[in-house]
A and B are shown apart, each in its own frame.
Chain A
Amino acid sequence: MAACGDEAALAPGGDTTIEDRTSQAYRLPAPNLDADALALHLDGDVAFEATFVTAPAPVNGGLGPVYNHTSCIGCHARDGRGLPQIGTGPTSQSLVRVSLAEGTPAVPGGAVPVPGVGAQLQDHAIFGAALEGTPTLSWTDVDGAYGDGAAYQLRAPQLAIAWSEEPEGAVMTSLRQPPPVFGLGLLEAIDEPTLTALADPDDRDGDGISGRVNYVWDAQLGRAMPGRFGLKANTPTLRQQAAAAYVNDMGVTNPMFPEDDGAIEIDAARLDATAFYTATLAVPARAAANAAANRGEQLFDQFRCTGCHVPTLVTGDSPIAAVAHQTIQPFTDLLVHDMGDGLADGRPDFGADGREWRTSPLWGIGLAETVLVGARYLHDGRARTLDEAILWHGGEAEAARERFRRASSSDRAALVAFLMTL
Chain B
Amino acid sequence: MRYSIALALSLSLAACGSDGGTVADFDDAALVADFADQVAVPTYALLDQRAAALEAAAVALEAAPSATTLEAAKAAWVATRSPWEQNEAFLFGPVSSFGYDPAMDSWPVNTNDLEAVLAAPDELTAAYIHNLPDSQKGFHTIEYLLWGEGQAREAEDLTARELTYLTGLSRELHATTTALAASWTTSVDGRTPYRDVFATAGETGNTAYPSRTAAVQELLGGMAAICDEVANGKIADPYDAHDPNLVESQYSYNSLVDFQDNLRSVRNAYTGAVADAGTSGRGLAAWVAERDPALDTRVRAEIQTAIDALAAIPAPFRDAIKDPTAYAKIEAAQAAIRTLQQTIEGDLTATVLP
Q: Which residues of A contact B (CB under 8 A)?
A: 3-5, 7, 10-11, 18-24, 27-29, 31, 38, 42, 45-46, 51, 53-60, 63, 70-71, 74, 77-78, 83, 88-91, 124, 126-128, 282, 285-291, 369-370, 372-374, 420
Contact = CB atoms under 8 A, between A and B. Distances in A.
B125 interface: no
B319 interface: no
A290 B22 contact: yes
Nearest to B232: A42
A18 B207 contact: no
Contact of B108 (A51, A287, A420): A51
Given A53-B110, A57-B108, A19 B4 contact: yes
B135 A51 contact: yes
29 contacts: A10-B9, A19-B9, A19-B12, A20-B4, A20-B5, A22-B217, A23-B93, A23-B218, A27-B1, A28-B3, A42-B232, A51-B102, A53-B113, A53-B135, A56-B112, A57-B112, A70-B135, A88-B131, A90-B103, A90-B133, A126-B113, A282-B4, A287-B12, A287-B15, A287-B211, A288-B23, A289-B16, A372-B97, A373-B208
Contacts of B14: 288
A10 B13 contact: yes
A88 B128 CA distance: 10
A46 B237 contact: yes
A231 B134 CA distance: 28
Nearest to A19: B7
A369 B4 contact: no
B134 A90 contact: yes
B107 A51 contact: yes
A77 B134 CA distance: 15
A3 B15 CA distance: 12
Interface in B215-243: 217-218, 221-222, 225, 232-233, 237
Contacts of A128: 116
Contacts of A90: 99, 102-103, 131-134
4 closest A-B pairs by beta carbon, nearest first, are: A288-B15, A4-B16, A53-B110, A23-B92
A285 B2 contact: no
Contact of A5 (B16, B107, B117, B222): B16
Nearest to B106: A51
Contacts of B133: 70, 90, 124
B341 to A, nearest CB: 14
Contacts of A27: 1
B135 A21 contact: no
Interface in B122-180: 130-135
A157 to B, nearest CB: 17
Contact of A374 (B3, B6, B97): B97
B352 interface: no
B113 A373 contact: no
A291 B20 contact: yes
B217 A373 contact: no
Given A53-B112, A89-B130, A369-B208, A22 B218 contact: yes
A29 B2 contact: yes
A395 B110 CA distance: 47
In the complex, which range does the number of interface residues on chain B fall in?
A: 35 or more
Interface string B1-44: 11111111101111111001011000000000000000000000
Contacts of B2: 29, 38, 42, 45
Contacts of B237: 46
Interface in B78-105: 92-94, 96-99, 102-103
Contacts of B233: 46
Given A124-B133, A373-B93, 15 more contacts: A21-B213, A21-B217, A23-B93, A24-B4, A24-B221, A24-B222, A46-B237, A53-B135, A56-B112, A58-B245, A77-B97, A89-B132, A91-B99, A369-B208, A374-B97
Nearest to B189: A374
A60 B183 CA distance: 32
A83 B94 CA distance: 13
A1 to B, nearest CB: 13
Nearest to A22: B218
Contact of A370 (B94, B107, B113, B209): B209
B332 interface: no
A19 B8 contact: yes
Contacts of B320: none
B255 to A, nearest CB: 15
Contacts of A21: 211, 213-214, 217
Contact of A18 (B4, B102, B103, B108): B4
A372 B103 CA distance: 17
A287 to B, nearest CB: 7
A74 B110 contact: no
B99 A20 contact: no
A54 B97 contact: no
B211 A127 contact: no
Contact of B6 (A18, A56, A70): A18
Contact of A89 (B96, B107, B131, B211): B131
A5 B17 CA distance: 8
- Listed residue (B9, B13, B110, B245) with the most chain A CB atoms within 10 angstroms of its CB: B110
A7 B10 CA distance: 10
A198 B124 CA distance: 57
Contact of A373 (B12, B13, B98): B98
B325 to A, nearest CB: 25
A46 B232 CA distance: 11
A373 B237 CA distance: 30
Contact of B221 (A7, A22, A46, A372): A22
B286 interface: no
A374 B191 contact: yes
A59 B210 contact: no
Contacts of A88: 131
Contacts of A70: 106, 133-135
Contacts of B218: 22-24
Interface in B311-347: none
A288 B214 CA distance: 11
A82 to B, nearest CB: 10
B294 interface: no
B245 A24 contact: no
A409 to B, nearest CB: 14
Pick from A22, A57, A89, A124 the residue with the most CB of B within 10 Å: A22
A20 B6 contact: yes
B250 to A, nearest CB: 11
Given A20-B217, A23-B218, A288-B22, A127 B108 contact: no
